[in-house]
């Protein structure tokens, strides 16, 4: 298992960061950076790129447009390489839903979904709109039914059309625009990648599976289904259909798969200390959970079996604690809670990581080793 961790760390840019010119490429290599908390996604990307700062990642997203913020795997917000939208839109649109979705009185028909997606694409063709502005535009184009307040959300109700937002993103009609104060905006990704068309679905799914196994393999169909929030049977069928391009290996006695010919593993286990933010791709995507979150790490750093709710301390590729960051101006205060004592050498590596996080945010950083008293998502 140590060799598996070492291989994944290399491919994630966590053993050694990649060159700055490969920033967008590296985001594609890890199959996207989870961006529900945008600052966490920025840090996830930055720690994998030599010398990158928050300003570097923001420039890639909002100025160079080499990254796009959109809905990715599991229907959650991700940063993806803009030039790879033909692949991602085709693959994600072809993934069948897991379960029936919304209740019958809320759920839209296929025809209604098509109408809403078309309305979204038209409304955003040359604009960046807040969700309220987009509601008005969709209702105007699709009909009053699209604005019915039927979706329970937080302490209120959302209009019916909003259930189609991830679908619109997966069909290439929507992505995030610049924030307007504290409000998000949406726009059409064709403004940034003119004329793009989704790839053929079969080829896109094959490439998505290849990339997943490159970054997270060896893996099983069930683990791929969980990562993608897809039906396990569908995932098993995809693996079977791609059998000629896959190779079976045993991982702790469990039949698992890698891409054919991609069976080399590092001879030496990975050594090092890393601080990974909320929902980092390595913590979320790597399995089996018991190997990545051994013993007390599962109790301290998982929410049930869900990874990503806590920033994690990695020691030699394995979760060995949690941490929390508090910003004050340009300085950051970082509290790290190791689950076992750190020797002098690892303490120095931890201090280097804290300095790296501070540099990413453009200032200094202070380290405190002690109990993290905040809960998930704090």
pLDDT in tens, the chain (378 residues): 899 999 999 999 999 999 999 999 999 999 999 999 999 999 999 999 999 999 999 999 999 999 999 999 999 999 999 999 999 999 999 999 988 778 888 999 999 999 999 999 999 999 999 999 999 999 999 999 999 999 998 888 999 999 999 999 999 999 999 999 999 999 999 999 999 999 999 999 999 999 999 999 999 999 999 999 999 999 999 999 999 999 999 988 899 999 999 999 998 888 899 999 999 999 999 999 999 999 999 999 998 889 999 999 999 999 999 999 998 888 899 999 999 999 999 999 999 999 999 999 999 999 999 999 887 765
- What does the mean pLDDT of the chain come to? 95
- CA nearest to 356, candidates 30, 46, 56, 61: 46
User: Which region, left, alpha or beta, applies to residue 117 given φ > 0 means left and ψ of -120 to 50 means alpha?
Assistant: alpha
Q: Which CATH number fits domain 203-259: 1.10.1740, 2.60.40, 1.10.3470, 1.10.10?
A: 1.10.10
Residues in the chain: 378
pTM over 0.75: yes
Annotated domain spans of the chain = 203-259
CB neighbours of residue 46 within 10 Å: 26
The model's pLDDT over 251-290, given as tens digits with 9 standing for 90+, comes to: 888 999 999 999 999 988 888 999 999 999 999 999 999 9
The model's pLDDT over 60-74, given as tens digits with 9 standing for 90+, comes to: 999 999 999 999 999
How many degrees, rounded to 5, is the angle at CA 175 between CA 171 and CA 177?
A: 160
Separation of alpha carbons 98 and 225, rounded Å:
9
Separation of alpha carbons 185 and 175, rounded Å:
9
């Amino acid at each position: 298992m140590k060799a598996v961790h070492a291989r994944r760390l290399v491919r994630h840019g966590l053993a050694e960061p990649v060159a700055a010119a490969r920033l967008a490429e590296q985001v594609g290599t890890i199959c996207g950076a989870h961006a529900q908390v945008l600052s966490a996604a920025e840090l996830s990307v930055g720690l994998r790129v030599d010398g990158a700062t928050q300003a570097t990642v923001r420039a890639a997203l909002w100025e160079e447009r080499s990254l796009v913020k959109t809905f990715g795997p599991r229907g959650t917000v991700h940063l993806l390489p803009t030039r790879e939208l033909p692949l991602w839109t085709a693959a994600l649109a072809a993934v069948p839903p897991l379960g029936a979705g919304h209740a019958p009185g809320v759920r839209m028909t296929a025809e209604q979904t098509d109408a809403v997606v078309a309305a979204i694409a038209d409304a955003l063709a040359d604009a960046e709109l807040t969700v309220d502005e987009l509601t008005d535009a969709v209702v105007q184009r699709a009909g009053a039914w699209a604005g019915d307040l039927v979706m329970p959300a937080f302490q209120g109700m959302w209009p019916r059309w909003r259930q189609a937002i991830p679908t619109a993103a997966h069909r290439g009609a929507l992505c995030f625009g610049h924030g307007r104060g504290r409000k998000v905006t949406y726009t059409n990704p064709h403004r940034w990648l003119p004329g793009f068309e989704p790839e053929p679905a079969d080829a896109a799914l094959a490439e998505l599976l290849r990339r997943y196994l490159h970054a997270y393999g060896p893996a099983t169909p069930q683990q791929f289904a969980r990562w993608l929030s897809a039906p396990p049977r569908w995932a098993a069928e995809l693996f079977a259909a791609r059998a000629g391009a896959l190779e079976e290996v045993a991982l702790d006695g469990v039949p698992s798969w890698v891409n054919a010919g991609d069976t080399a593993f590092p001879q030496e286990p990975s050594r090092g200390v890393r601080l990974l933010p909320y929902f980092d791709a390595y913590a979320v995507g790597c399995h089996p959970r018991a190997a990545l979150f051994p013993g007390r790490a599962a109790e301290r750093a998982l929410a049930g079996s869900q990874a990503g709710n806590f920033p994690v301390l990695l020691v030699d590729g394995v979760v060995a604690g949690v941490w929390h960051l508090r910003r004050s101006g340009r300085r950051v205060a970082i509290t790290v809670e190791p689950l076992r004592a750190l020797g002098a050498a690892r303490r120095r590596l931890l201090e280097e990581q804290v300095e790296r996080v501070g540099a990413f945010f453009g200032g200094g950083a202070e380290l405190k080793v002690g109990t993290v008293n905040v809960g998930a998502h704090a």
